[in-house]
Structure 1
Amino acid sequence: MDSIEKHVIFALLILLAYSCDTSKKILVSQPVAINRQTHDTIPNQSISLQKGRVCYLSTTSYDYVLPGMDIFECKNSSDFIMSSSRSSLSGSASDSYQTDTVLQSQFLVRTALEKVAEKLLPGSEYICYHVEEHESDKKSLDSIIETLNPEYIVTLNKLEFRVNGNVFEGASIASSSYSTGDFHVTSTGPVFTRTGNILITYDALWNIEHLKDNQQTEIVQKGEVHDDYYKNYNIIEHLQNTARQAGNDFLSLFKE
């Protein structure tokens, strides 16, 4: 192995080590729910709903647009071409990307609400009422109450996501040769490396209104989902999973 080849491999190893080390620094915590009126932490399975109809609403009016991998910005890029014919490594290239993006999507709001309505609590009737741009004014709410006659109204007033990640993509062209009988075979092919860690946190604001008792509970809930970067990674799929997790985390607050 000549000195140029050693430098190339060493550079690739440094980039790979940097990416792996970055992922280790990401900490994952349990979801946290706070009563906005009292500022108390709400434990899991601590909220009890009596039997009755529950109407789910959303006051958000976000766009339905979802982001692509273009939210990742290239921070470092390098490539090498070997000039030595004796080297088995023909060349290599590597790129590292980062993102720290806050986003909102009405599609993800619906995903979270559908997840909540999907798991019905025992002994309760549920109505899932999808509204694209419901305004939280008294006239609009009175119309919904008159039409659906629910005992409870659960409203999702806010759902924001923050995407934070460092990913690495590398490729190298290497050749190998072997002999079989009277033939000498040489093959050349690419080797791809994809690694990294992507963290998505959500920030949700829920409101539970018990119409009969005229009581309301406003809940701020935050959680996170992390994933490894891999071939054909889909950021939209990861966002959908995080929205579903937001719904699951909200459900975990209720007694079964």
Structure 2
Amino acid sequence: MTYLRFLNIDSDYDQSKYVIIPAPMDIGSSWGVGSRFGPLAIIEASRHIDLYDIDLGLTLDSIYTMEEIEPTAEIAKNLDLVKDVISDVLSHGKVPVLIGGDHSISIASSRASSMHGACIYIAMDAHADLYDEYNGSRLSHACVTRRVLDLPTIEKAILIGVRTMELEEAVFARNDSRIVLIRSTDDLEVLDNIEGKKAHLSFDVDVIDPSVIPCVGYPEPGGISYRDAIAFLKAIFEKFDVISMDFVEFSPCPGRRDDSFTIAKLIYKSILMHYISQLHRHSQ
């Protein structure tokens, strides 16, 4: 096959623990489109990353990259396609790492993950995504958390880094005890009472300050730093049994390389931290 592979790793599917799934879909976007170009830009940038992580002291090559999921013109069909692929990867005992694409594909990720029993939805995002409907669609990227909470096996939605929401969303969040809002690393102790459960992690890159990642579908000023993002992710992997991940909403800007490289590095570091946490969890 001639398609690009994440980190330029030519690993066999059967021998790999992690499966990169590119999903170039942005039909669920409500403002800036272009996140359909995100997966290719991130994978291209990843080919220039040093595989040895100086912070964690290890390297990992047990990563397989699938071909892109070919999108259709209908968002519901796209979600079904993504769900089926992730379900298949999970059934093989592997960890799917979905690269989007707009945030609506996280609905599909959560549907697949929640089929494997009770699950926590953890989203790092500038937005709460709690609209019941947005621009006439209940599958918009602005409705992701709301649709995830419709799933019967989702016990809680932990939203990290949210810094804006509409009144409708604020009222819903205040009245639904399943929703946990975390604004800073100082608030992470609230997770102590719910840790240990299976979880799906959704990372919307607009949670990071736009001075670092400016090219997103819906930029929001005042985000977290790259280092704070790593600190949050480390805590998530330590406290929860994350069975699947997605990284969404990157819309490449012409002429820039730093942002796609930063996201690729973030994804690789997430995989490494997840790998370490799983080693610790299984050794106890």
TM-score, length-scaled by structure 1 = 0.32
Q: Which has the higher strand share?
A: 1
Q: Which has the larger radius of gyration?
A: 1
